[in-house]
A and B are shown apart, each in its own frame.
Chain A
Amino acid sequence: MSQQTSLTYAKVNEDVIRMLDKPTVKWLALFVPTLGVVGFGLFCFLYQVYTGLGAAGYRHPVFWGVYITDFVFWVGIAHSGTLISAVLYLFRANFRLSIYRIAEGMTVFAVLTAGLFPIIHLGRPWFFYWLFPYPNQRELWVNFKSPLLWDVFAVSTYLTVSSVFFFVGMIPDLAAIRDRVTEKPRKILYSILSLGWKGSNWEWLHYTRAYLFFAAFATPLVLSVHSVVSWDFAMANLPGWHTTIFAPYFVAGAIFSGLGMVITLTVPIRKIFSLEEYITLDNYDGMAKLIIVTSLIVGYAYGVEFFMAWYSGNPAEWGQFYYRATGEYALFYWIMVFCNVLIPLPLWFKSVRRNIKALFIISIFINIGMWFERFNIIVISLSRGFDPASWGIYKVSWVEIGITLGSFAWFFMFFLIFIKTLPAVSIAEMKEILPVPKKEANGHE
């Protein structure tokens, strides 16, 4: 943050806490339809539970489809949160400061969304708890060899750690809000949430230490969680899935899509709440550079998949990749290449990196492209397995579209509640980089 800022400690407090004022009509105009879409998604899910999974568009041999695509998409979205808050914290990359709270919130809500899909996609979702290793009378245990079980642990660990990290980072800010609000219920709520924080030196000493440890603890998860998710596919023997590059490929893709989502979310927030001084062009510039890096990794993975399929001499493997680019799903494949490889190329230019409109449009394309990447990996691979006699095409049903829309609404619902109840920008950390205010005679800060 530049030294020429007009921000002061007081303004930071006011600006951030202003966001928590009573819901405006605009906010309600967003929130109510969002709830409606969540309701529709819930209806679709209940309809599916009632009629059977046949309500979705699965066709033999494509037994995973939009739900697992959504799952991987949301887990991917979750990734940038931890990357920005934990990894960049450890690297002392200051451009993270203004956006990390939003990114962390995004992480928690995205994991909450992602975690629904493995249950939604089950044939018998009412038995989802059978996937947990709990002691039971029937002495049934789970299969630790199955990547799906690794998923259960990866996602629940990630949810726990990211929630704790999210909450711990917020404690000083919650205390600041507690001191400002006047209404009784809010006062009580924030008093409880701030855990009696007084801002003493002793507290700060331990707090910063703890935060550092949490950051260090969360960092490996950025790599491990999405690696585990990628093994859902890589551990199978299916052509198009069974490949060793999946873990780094998925992690890069996750960061790529996560950054895309951060931009998609912060641009409107910055505009609506006039946070231009907080979320600066420098911040966006930094994120755009990371997007270029991850886009290149993803693009390289697309290329190397093709090369390896050809080089392996395996007809099933080569058949799969040739089909991806030329078969019935070719449009989706080329949408993916266009959005993830070509669209980010203008970011090499500084003028584009600092153009909010351009960034917003690019970020939307990245979200679309990354959704299709997961769709392509999952559905196209399954469509053409080893046995040609069973090849088949998957067609999405309205139930899956409803639940997918519902999942976006579910995510935004949490997000809308978040920006009205919790500090979307870190008050405490913003102050760390502001010039220390001079004491004035009238006693104001």
Chain B
Amino acid sequence: MGFDNPGTGMLALGIANVIVSEGLSNRGGELSGLLSGYAIDKVSEATGVSTDTIRQIAREFSSTQPSLAIGGGTAVTSTNATETLIAINILNYVAGNIGETIDFGRTINTDGISQFSDILSLVDSMSNGGVDILMVYNTNPVFTLPKSAGFEDAISKVPFVVSFSSFMDETTEKATLIMPDNTTIESWGDFIPSTGIHGLIQPVMTPVFNTKGTGDVILAVTANIEDLKERYKQTSYYDYLRESWKTAYSSQAGLSFDSFWNKALENGGYYADVQPVQVSLSGGLSGALPEAEFSGDGDYFFIAYPSYKYYDGRGANKPWLQELPDALSTGVWDSWVEVHPDTASKLGVKLGDFVVIESPQGSIETQVYPYPGIRPDTVAVMIGQGHTSYGRYAKDRGVNPVGILPLTTDKLSGGFAWFTSKVKLTKTGKHAQFVQTQYTTHQHDRGIAQEVTLTEMQKGLPPVDHSLPGFYPEKEYAVPLGNGDRPQKCTGCGACVTACYAENNIPFVGKELVAKRRDMAWIKIERYFEKSDNKAGFETRFLPMLCQQCGNAPCEPVCPVYATYHNPEGLNGMVYNRCVGTRYCSNNCSYSVRKFNWFQYKFPEPLNWQLNPDVTVRSMGVMEKCTFCVQRINFAKDQAKDKGRDVLDGEVQVACAQACGSDAIVFGNLKDTESKVSKLSEDERGYKVLQMLNTQSSITYLKKVKWDKA
């Protein structure tokens, strides 16, 4: 959370000013009036970024093409959010990015979206008794609105509240009538996220429970209302949806509607080409960027940021997400407040101590996570926890920081401004173990997550021979499978971890057992804070760690019963029903990636529905570990055999690689010299983790490249 707020907009204009005044770009002359107010010294003083850094950024930003400045995140959630975005786009304009990296043709679709002020006036009329019936669909305002908005009181004044939620959330609890909707994976639907994209949603399973899609409910109800009887011809939402897609179809030539529909189903929607829109600066922009306004008399700026796992709280009832370690703190199943270590020592608190965060609107109590990446004058709490309802996995877990936010809006857009309060922090003297999955932040010279600088890369890296001389004869495998991991691309999000849980029937174990380090994840994201010469003094490195399927596996020879063995494809097989549970394999695994079934884990109803029928559910007392999704490999081999050919490159995707949004994990056949993974593993940045042990790991990691150019 290291943002230069409240000066982000200022910094952007300062950089733009340097670009214009130094003549680094041929644009922006007409803005000199505006930009002259952002002299480099003034910007430097206000933001704390040195003049040298600003100058360096300006030069690199304008000389490197293509370039793009993105506004978003915490930086644009204050009272001056819109102005900040304008400032950032002025920087883009000055650098010549409009029409290059920025396309105004495809814009976010805001049709039918209410303003924040609409919500507030709804709350007003609700509390004045002006609302007779309130229907709540796909939202949970009791939880997601600040307490000061008064929604909770207002809803009790509404005589008839209908909730269409699939889950018993805080708002649904207050409803008069609950019409449980199908979940997203059980429903039909469509959406238009931005111009030209018509997404089509189809169910992947029949509804598990006795639920009815909200569309169907509305159709059924209107058919029984005298005045509305004739409004819809269709009796099912599916028919309605299909009918409504005829509008999009009308623009298609040469396709029957049926084939158009089927194609849209196959592709997940219909994607129209959008012509870029030419824009020009209206000129005459002047005046000064307003400063962000903060309320509250505390010492610390307070950031409540949406969780990438729970978003606004809707993800909190999923045990997979609760058990997924946070990318930075590696915390699970709870909330915490990020505090700079200096601030923490000033307050006399350490990891796991409880503090009270107090704003004029209320207070919350949570554990401290000292994090060197946050500013010493700022504290941050993730949104999403702190449910008082919403099912067994979400209820009574962590705190909801939204509750203590003031009701402030962005001056220009009228949207809710999240980052506007200053809070007090008070030590409570209570302490509990902060439950996380990684207790170290340093690599202790083990060279797990390696790095090269760009300069070193340009000079050329010495070729590395990954094969150390061995005592035993080389083994030959029919299809040596390998993985290429690119920590450079890894954002630490952990989608691979959850994908692996889903694919391989990995049980979640809950906070109490994670506290005992008994989580069952087959793949984990190791995160290290490496010393760096940047302002924060460190940089974060992520590294997905999973079974390395070693050619010379330390786990194999120590098993007394051959429960783990080398299969002909070079995988380390694990025979669950042969395992007696000596756990020696795990002790000898240099990568510590084996997990043990300490108990007979359960998949309580309805989570048993998520089990993958292709994968064995393991029983108490046996070891388990990553199999490189052997069930997928076997399936692809069977398919290829039926078709009389070899398995094609990319035909088998392991679950972690499939889920990775940034394509950091690549899987394939190392013996096929043309495969993507073979080529990647030959990359000069390639290295094996703990290579000196000569485990002949089949996973090649590519060193992270560090930007060190002046």
Q: Measuring CB to CB, which residues of chain A are less than 8 angstroms from any residue of chain B?
A: 51-54, 58-61, 63-64, 118, 121-124, 127-128, 130-131, 140-143, 145-149, 152, 232, 235-238, 315-316, 319, 382, 385-392, 395
> Contacts A53-B621, A59-B517 given: A388-B448 contact, CB under 8 Å?
yes
Report the bound CA distance from A276 to B556 in whole Å: 55
**Does B440 belong to the interface (CB within 8 Å)?**
yes
Residue of B560, B578, B587 near A63 (CB, 8 A) is B587
Decide: A63 and B446 in contact? CB cutoff 8 A: no
Task: Kindly specify which of B51-59, B253-261, B592-600 makes contact with the partner chain.
Answer: B592-600
Q: Are B554 and A236 in contact (CB under 8 A)?
A: yes
User: Does any Cβ of A come within 8 Å of B162's Cβ?
Assistant: no
Give 10 CB contacts A-B under 8 Å. Answer: A60-B518, A60-B586, A63-B596, A124-B581, A131-B560, A386-B591, A387-B545, A388-B442, A390-B438, A395-B516
Bound together, the chains give a CA A315 to CA B443 distance in angstroms of 10
Q: Which secondary structure dominates where chain A touches chain B? A: loop
- CB–CB B580/A128 < 8 A: yes
Q: Which 8 A-B pairs have the closest CB atoms?
A: A123-B581, A54-B598, A123-B621, A390-B592, A389-B526, A63-B583, A124-B621, A315-B445
Contacts of B595 in A (CB 8 A): 60
Query: Are A236 and B588 interface neighbours, CB within 8 A?
Result: yes
Instruction: Closest B residue to A63 by CB, please name it.
Output: B583
Nearest neighbor of A124 in chain B, beta-carbon distance? B621
Residues of chain A within 8 A (CB-CB) of B446 are: 315-316, 386-388
Report chain A residues within 8 Å CB of B599: 51-52, 54
Which residues of chain B have C-beta atoms less than 8 A from A148's C-beta?
A: 558, 560, 582, 584
Contact call B586/A391, Cβ cutoff below 8 A: no
For A124, list chain B residues within 8 Å (CB). 579-581, 620-622
Q: Please indicate which of the listed interface residues A63, A130, A145 has the most CB atoms of chain B within 10 Å of its own CB.
A: A63
If A388-B448, A391-B439 are given as contacts, then 18 extra A-B residue pairs at C-beta distance below 8 Å, sorted by A number, are A53-B620, A53-B621, A54-B599, A59-B517, A60-B595, A63-B587, A122-B582, A123-B581, A124-B581, A131-B561, A140-B578, A142-B562, A143-B560, A146-B560, A235-B558, A237-B588, A385-B592, A391-B440
CB-based contact B582/A386 at 8 Å: no
Whether the pair A61, B586 counts as a contact (CB closer than 8 A) is: yes
Decide: A54 and B590 in contact? CB cutoff 8 A: no
**A392 and B561 contacting across the interface, CB-CB below 8 Å:** no
Judged by a CB distance under 8 angstroms, whether B524 is at the interface is yes
Tell me whether B690 is interfacial, beta carbon within 8 Å.
Answer: yes
Contacts known (A131-B561, A145-B557); A388 close to B587, Cβ less than 8 A: no
Knowing A64-B587, A237-B693, A385-B592, the reply to whether A123 touches B445 (Cβ < 8 A) is no
Contact string, B551-583, partner A, CB cutoff 8 A, digits 1/0?
A: 000100111111000000000000000111111
CA distance A426 to B163 in the complex (A): 88
What is the predominant secondary structure among interface residues of chain B facing chain A? loop
| CA–CA, A141 and B560, complex, Å | 9
A59 partner, pick from B518, B528, B587, beta carbons under 8 A: B518
Contact A123 B580 (CB under 8 A): yes
B444 at the interface (CB under 8 A from A): yes
Contacts of B596 in A (CB 8 A): 53, 58, 60, 63, 123
Q: B620 and A123: CB pair below 8 A?
A: yes
Instruction: Give bound CA distance, A386 to B558, whole Å.
Output: 18
A61 CA to B596 CA, complexed, in Å = 10
Contact residues, B428-460 vs A (CB, 8 A): 438-440, 442-446, 448
B689 nearest in chain A by CB position: A387
* A33-B69 Cα distance, complex, nearest whole Å: 77
CB neighbours (8 Å) of A145 from chain B are 557-558
Check B443 against A388 for contact (C-beta < 8 Å). Answer: yes
A52 contacts B587, C-beta separation under 8 Å: no
Measured as residues with beta carbon below 8 angstroms from the partner, the interface class of chain B is: 35 or more
Chain A nearest CB from B131 CB (Å) reads: 52
CB B591 to nearest CB in A, in angstroms, measures 6
Tell me the bound Cα distance from A61 to B519 in angstroms: 11
A387 to B589, CA, bound (A): 10
Which of A130, A235, A238 makes the CB contact (< 8 A) with B580?
A130
A134 to B: closest C-beta gap in Å = 12
Looking at the assembled complex, report how far the CB atom of A85 sits from the nearest CB atom of chain B, in whole angstroms.
31
What's the nearest-Cβ distance from chain B to residue A391, in Å? 6
Report whether A60 and B581 are in contact in the complex, using a CB–CB cutoff of 8 Å.
no
Specify which chain A residues have a CB less than 8 angstroms from the CB of B524 in the assembled complex: 389-390
Residues of A within 8 A of B559 (CB): 143, 146
Known contacts: A123-B620, A127-B580, A319-B444. The answer to whether A52 contacts B561 by CB under 8 A is no
Given contacts A52-B620, A140-B578, A387-B448, A60 and B592 within 8 Å (CB-CB): yes
- Pick from A52, A238, A392: contact of B517, CB below 8 A: A392
Known: A51-B599, A388-B440. A123 touches B690 (CB 8 A): no
- State the CA gap A320–B582 with chains docked (Å): 23
Min Cβ gap B475→A in Å is 15
A53 smallest CB distance to B (angstroms): 5
Nearest CB of A to B564, in Å? 10
CA distance A121 to B446 in the complex (A): 31
Q: Are B587 and A236 in contact (CB under 8 A)?
A: yes
Q: In this complex, what residue of B is CB-closest to A388?
A: B440
How far, in whole Å, are A388 and B545 apart by their CA atoms in the complex? 12
Q: In the complex, how many angstroms separate the beta carbon of A413 from the nearest chain B beta carbon?
A: 27
A319 to B597, CA, bound (A): 29
A123–B620 CA distance with the chains assembled, in angstroms? 7
CB pair A387–B590 under 8 Å, yes or no, is yes
**Chain A residues in 8 Å Cβ range of B516:** 59, 395
- A58-B519 Cα distance, complex, nearest whole Å: 12
Contacting residues, chain A, for B591 (C-beta < 8 A): 386-387
Q: Could you tell me if A386 and B557 are in contact, using CB atoms closer than 8 angstroms?
A: no
Contact between B581 and A385, CB atoms less than 8 A apart: no
For B578, list chain A residues within 8 Å (CB). Answer: 130, 140
* Residue among B445, B517, B519, B524 with max Cβ neighbours from chain A (10 Å): B517
Cα distance, A52 to B598, chains bound together (Å): 6
**Which residues on the B side are within 8 Å of A146 (C-beta)?**
557-560, 584
Q: How far is the CA of A128 from the CA of B545 in the complex (A)?
A: 32
B560: contacting residue among A152, A386, A389, CB under 8 A: A152
Chain B residues with Cβ below 8 Å from A149 are: 560
* Closest residue of A by beta carbon distance from B575: A140
State whether A123 touches B560 (Cβ < 8 A).
no
Query: B444 to A388, Cβ gap below 8 A?
Result: yes
Bound Cα distance A223, B598 (Å): 36
A residues within 8 A CB of B590? 237, 385-387
**For residue A54, which residue of chain B has the nearest CB?**
B598
Using Cβ atoms and an 8 Å threshold, which residues of chain B touch A319? 444-445
> In the complex the two chains form, is A60's CB within 8 Å of B517's CB?
yes
Residues of B close to A387: CB separation below 8 A = 446, 448, 526, 545, 590-592, 690
